Amino acid sequence: MGNPNLLKYRKEYNAGFLDEKNLPETPDVLFEQWLNHAINSGAEEPLAMNLATSTTGGKPSSRIVLLREFNKKGLVFYTNYKSRKGKEIFKNHYAAVNFFWPLLERQIRIEGEIIKTKKQDSDRYFKSRPAESQISAIISEQSKQIPSRHFLEKQFQDIKTSLFEKDIMRPENWGGYILIPSLYEFWQGRPHRLNDRIVYTLDNENWEKCRLAP
């Protein structure tokens, strides 16, 4: 039973360190620094984040989505509002995301409340996508059971033919969300598993910073 190689696998982390005395007062500044570093370092899928949602009863689910905008208010991503995550967000507005960049031996956890972006923002982003991606958003009843791959591909071709050289309108069930952070945790791998963990917590519109045990 089991794979003995898993027990033997070991990696020491030596890429960097975190000293809270030299960190910015607000986490959005550090997040932007780390994100830009991940992008410029050649990390694979630097914008990929694990989005965790849950039902009102506390049953969790998670999946990878792509960060599409970051501003003073929060983190923006786009999806189908009628998907499983969309339904869970509708009933429970609180969620968490996690970025993991193995190349840099870093991860960031962010917790907060999720709301929909403005319709004009969703329209703008939808129009910026390739036509094929726009069509995929139209035909995909995300998270619903479908009969086959052929069924999906036929729908795609049929819509593509019917919309040839036409403006494609964003479907109402597809658009953006913004996660408004109330907590950031910055994790930097260190030797011997004595990893650095710095947490910023929002308290009455002020960010408080502390170190956690690894």
pLDDT digits (tens, 9 = 90+) for 117-173: 999 999 999 999 999 999 999 988 888 898 999 988 898 998 888 887 778 999 999
Has residue 93 got a pLDDT over 90? yes
Q: Is residue 205 part of a domain?
A: yes
> Is-above-0.85 flag for pTM?
yes
- Chain mean position to CA 104: 18
Q: Is residue 162 part of a domain?
A: no
Q: Is residue 166 part of a domain?
A: no
Q: How many domains is the chain built from?
A: 1
Residue 2 has a pLDDT of 65
Question: Which residues lie below 8 Å from residue 136, measured CB to CB, with a gap of 6+?
Answer: 156
Which is nearest to 187 in space by CA: 120, 101, 129, 113? 101
Q: Residue 19's CB: how many other CB atoms inside 10 A?
A: 10
Q: Is residue 71 part of a domain?
A: yes
Q: Cα angle vertex 108, ends 97, 48, to 5°?
A: 55
Q: Is residue 183 part of a domain?
A: yes
pLDDT category at 190 given cuts 50, 70, 90 is: very high
Which is nearest to 34 in space by CA: 110, 108, 102, 112? 108
Has residue 45 got a pLDDT over 80? yes
Residue 197's CATH number = 2.30.110.10
Q: Is residue 1 part of a domain?
A: no
Active site residues: 193
Q: Is residue 147 part of a domain?
A: no
Q: Is residue 93 part of a domain?
A: yes
Q: Which domain holds residue 95?
A: 10-133+172-211
